[in-house]
Every structure is written in structure tokens, then in C-alpha cells.
Amino acid sequence: MLRAVVLLVFFVVSPAYAENVIIPLSLDNTLLTTLLRQSAFTEVGRSATIVGKPGDCIYLRVSEPRFSSVGGLLRLEVRLLIRLGSEFGESCLVPVEWEGYLQLFQKPVIDKRTFKLSLQTVDSTLLTLSRKPAYIAGFLWKFAQPRVYKHLNQVRIDLAPPVNDVRSFLRPLFSSQAGQQVETMLESLRTGAVLVQQNGVVVELLLDVENVYDPSEKAHNFTLTQKERELLVRTWETWDALLVELVAVLAASPLTPEDHQTLIDVLLDTRHVFSSALEGQQLDKDFVRMQFVRVWHQLVPVFRRQLYARPDDNSLGYLAFFTAADALTVFDRMGPTFGVEISQRGLQRLAAMLSGKKGDLPYAKGIDGRLRKLLQLPAVNENDSMQNIEEIDLPDDKAVSQPLSWFGDFFTRPVHASEMPTFAEILQWRVPDKDIDTYVKKIRKVLAEAALTVVAKGEIPQAWQPMFETLIPAMAWQESCFRQFVTRKRKLTYLLSYNHTSVGVMQINERVWRGIYNRDRLRWDIRYNALAGCEIVDLYLRRYALKGDHAQKYSDDTDLLPRVIYAMYNGGPAQLSKFMKRARSKKYYKSDLLFAEKLSWVQQKDWKQIGSCFAGG
């Protein structure tokens, strides 16, 4: 991976501090190859005819270009076909044909005025088709050399568009009080050295930056006002929408198992961290910027491998996207004295670079099939039919106080049904004033059906299936006390966690699982909520808990596996290592201990303990 380089040169300028900053514009060899193909190898088979046409007596063609780096130069290899004869009427006398490879050793040069990159050939060598040194008739090479050189030396890669995109991205990153300094900085943007590195070329973009704040001043962490907090949440939602686009762009392509897992890790951890910070009142003005930089370091190797390898018309957009993101990490290293922050507009600009299209980044609440594909969940076609309904009026009809067994027809509906439940079906799951045992048995049946639906896929190792089926009711007990709904003043509403993040019997976090599950069905359909919870548990079981060297530990302590899954269910993949550390030190969270208690009760079928859940209403 091409790495960003920062050169900081301090000048004595009062009261501000001037610094010369280098932002790397990194053209990987794969990207260079793509750009060259788009410019000079546009014929069928990634080829270019320089002289004649196929079948002519005199014919010169190059094809299959590929860049690599060697000894401080770029090495461009092309397949070369030369045919040379004497035309006599419609005949070709004494034709001589040679085919092999031409390797050109080139020096990249940038035009500092136009930002156009050219490649100057300084040496070359010929190889046979088996890539061994080749010796051909001098007259063939004398004919081919100047024409091939001319064709390739005319190539110009216009870097002005991505440079302008970077300017547009940088402008809103800085505090409004830095307006004039920012414009002065952007006007100073120019090219520096052009370096050939192992994986490609780095064109240095130079900026003269003047600090807005005195770095000697002590930094303060100011508490966010309500308005600032609301703006930060909206900015994070835009960042989450961009992250979905980043992940989705790659989820549509073949990925290595490692890259696939990286995308899942980043998506879930990013959302869990924000949800936890929001709950714990730990958000600050730099939260989105810091999260973006951390995620970027994780994703950049995947994106460079995948995006640059695509035959895409947006190659320069990808270049602008990477350069803008690298610019942000450069300024991030320089500390908070520059007033750098991420705005919704800046994130939208990044998305436009990536997609090649302008537009907003909506924080959509519907299902995104690309995310379900990433998590290897089945495709669905659902419509939100109860959008924004927060509560429903309870009828005065005495029927609602009838025993739940009166509504037996509800239990014939499949756990995986795609439609929203009817009003009558929803009312079945109001917690009754009496006969709690019957209510709990019916909830347990729903949970068991959902667990069996997941087990039936055959992906959970058989040895762990009984554990899985025991784990689900223990989690529902701990999370919701077997409740999907609560009643307040003759109105029924979905059970919402105290921090307003998670809903229903399995307390599915709506931010973490946005786009993966139907929000309204999580709220109003107990079967859907139960199935979603089982699928999430399955994901953490197979993709995390059973990976690595943990299997022996689970064999030694049979309760360790369900407890670590529960920790991840609430805190994301990062909780795997954190819980293991707590287990070693025996310093558990209160939630760890409470869940262990519920797990023990389910294992012992000690259902009488459920009464404490409903004590007091």
C-alpha cells in the first residue's frame, strides 16, 4: 500500500504557524494500467493498432499493457506484433513477422501548470513470448521503435479533475472562522516531487497551511450543547450512509474471505461504537472524524485492491476519493489546532467521488439488499407498511382480555412470513394481567421456532446446536423479559430499551442493524424480531466465536461460549476479546452476571423465576 507522507516545516510567523503539508496522490500500478488502457489501448482485447490493420502487409500492434515498478522507474510491458513486407499489387512479398513482449522503462513527469502526468521512455528491452531475451532483425525494430514510442509518449493522464475534487472536499473541513486562511491554503495547492514506489507512483500535492489556533493553547473538551449533539448525530448518520455505500460497492464483487470478514467487522464495530457512545453520553465534536480515520486505515487496502482492478469509467473518481480520504488522515495527524472537522457536505462530496454521481446520502430506514448479501442473509422483498407508527389504541372490547389460547390461529403463520402482522395478531402479544405462565410458554414457542429455522440451514456445527437453542430463550429473558410490547395509558407500543436504541423481544439495535432488517417489522412483528435475533446470534457464533483458538476454552467451560456470544450481541465483535479478558480476570460486567443467571435458569428449566420479571406490572 502506498503510504501518506507528511513534511512539516515550521516558520516563525506570528500569531499563526505556517506549515508545508504534503498530500499524496497515489496511483497504484493497477490504476495506472487502467488509465493507460482507457487512453491508448481502446480496441478489442485491450489493444491499439499503430500501423495498418489485421491482414495488411505492414502492421504494428501493441496490446495487454501492464505496469510494475523497478529501480525507481515504471516498467510498462506490452505485447508487440510486427509484420513487415513489401507490397506488390495485392501481394505481400517476403513478409517478416515477429511477436513477443516489449518492456519500456519510463520516468513519470508532471506538468506543474496543467496537472497532466506523462511517461518518458528512457530504455527498453525485447522478450520472447516465453519472456526470454529476444533478438530480432534490426530493420524490424528500427521500424517499430519510433512509432511505439511516439504512441505511448503522447499519453497524458489528466490529474486536474481529482485535484479539483480534493480542493472541493478540503474546503468544508475547516472551521468557518478559518475562511480566508483556507482559501489561501487551497490557492497554494501545487505539485511537488513525483516518486516511483514499489506499488506505483506518488505525486506529491503541496499545501501552505497556516494554523488557525495557537498550538500552545491547552485543548479543552467542551460539553456539547443539545443543538451540537443533534448536528453530530445527523453527521454520523451521513457517515454511516457513506460507509454503507463503501461496503456495498465491494459486496457486489468477489472478495477473499479475509476481505469479506473485514467489511463485516468494520460495519458492525463502527455502528456498535457509535451506539455505545451515544448511550454513554461520550460523544464529542471529533467523534465522526476520528471514527472515519480509524475505519479508513482498515478499509484502504481492500478498496485499493478491489476498485482499481475494475474496468470502470470512474477510475479518476476513485483516485480523487482515495486522495481526499488520505488528505483527511494527513490533517488528522497534525492535531486539532487546524480546526479540521467532517461535515455532512464533505461526506456527500466523498460519496460523489466514489459513485461519479452527485446527490445526498440519505439515512434510509428500509432494507438494503446489498448489506443482506454481505452478511449472507437471504434476499427479501418487503414494503414498510406501518411507517412511523409509535403506538396503537387498545380497544375496549372484552376480547382483548380473553386467554391468549383464544387466538390460536396466529400460531399457524410461518416464522418467516414476509407480510406485516394484522392488528388482531399484534394484540395477542400484550402482556396479560393473569396467566403469565401461558403467555411465557407461547413466547418460548415463537423463540424455539425461530431458533429451529436457523438451525435447519445446517450451518451451525451439530455439537453446538443444543447450546444455540438454549441460548435464545436465555437472551430473550435477559433482554426483554419475554416482551415484545408494553402498555401505557390504554395504548400499546413496542418495547424500547431505556436508551431508545433497541426494540422487541430480542432487543434488536435499530442503528446497528439498519438496512439489514425491516425496522417496522422489528417493532411490530414478534416472530420477525425473534428470527432476526437468532440470525444475529448465528452470525456471532459462526463468524467470530468459533473462529481462532477459542474452541478448546469452550470445551473446558461449556457456559463460556453462550456468554461470549451474548457479550458480542450487545457490544459488537470487539467484545469477543474484551469478554475473554474479563473471563480470565473474573471481573465481569453486571450484564455478564445477569445473563449467566438467566442462562442457568433456562438450562435447569427453572421457569418459575420468570415471575420476578413481571412483578409490579
Per-residue pLDDT of 150-199, as tens digits, reads 999 899 999 999 898 888 888 777 766 667 778 888 889 999 999 999 98
In the three-class reduction of DSSP (H, G, I as helix; E, B as strand; rest coil), residue 421 is classed as coil
Q: What is the CA radius of gyration of the chain?
A: 31
Give Cβ neighbours of residue 176 (< 8 Å, ≥ 6 apart): none
Cβ-contact 24, 40 below 8 angstroms = no
Mean pLDDT of 9-30: 65
Return the CATH fold of 388-614: Lysozyme (1.10.530)
- Coil, strand or helix: which one is 202? strand
What angle do the packed helices 226-251 and 257-279 form, to 10 degrees? 170
Q: Which of 251-260, 323-332, 423-432, 597-606 has the highest mean pLDDT?
A: 597-606
Domain locations along the chain? 27-158, 160-186+224-373, 388-614
| Helix, strand counts (H, E) of the chain | 20, 14
* Alpha carbon distance 132, 101 (integer Å): 9
Report d(CA 489, CA 456) in Å as an integer. 41
Residues shown for the chain = 617
CB 340 within 8 A of CB 328: yes
Retrieve residue 13's grid coordinates. 510567523
Q: Is the peptide bond before 146 cis (omega within 30 degrees of 0)?
A: no
* Choice among 272-286, 333-347, 366-380 with the minimum mean pLDDT: 333-347
To the nearest whole percent, how much of the chain has pLDDT over 90? 48
What is the value of pTM for the model shown? 0.79
For cell 518492456, name the residue: 103
User: What is the spatial distance between Cα 269 and Cα 273, in angstroms, rounded to a whole number?
Assistant: 6
pLDDT at 20: 80
Query: Which residue did the predictor score with more confidence, 486 or 349?
Result: 486
Pick the CATH number of 27-158 from 3.30.310, 3.15.10, 3.40.50, 2.40.160: 3.15.10
Strand pairing class (485-488; 200-210): unpaired
Rounded distance, CA 325 to CA 246, Å?
Answer: 12
The pLDDT confidence band at residue 3, using thresholds 50, 70 and 90, is very low
Indicate whether 399 pLDDT > 80.
no
Give first-to-last CA distance, the chain, whole Å: 59
Give the closest residue to 121 by CA, choosing from 62, 163, 161: 62
For residue range 360-385, list pLDDT tens digits in order: 788 888 899 999 999 999 888 765 55
Share of the chain above pLDDT 70, in %: 86
Indicate the range of 223-232, 308-317, 541-550 predicted with least confidence: 308-317
Cell numbers given for 483: 416482551
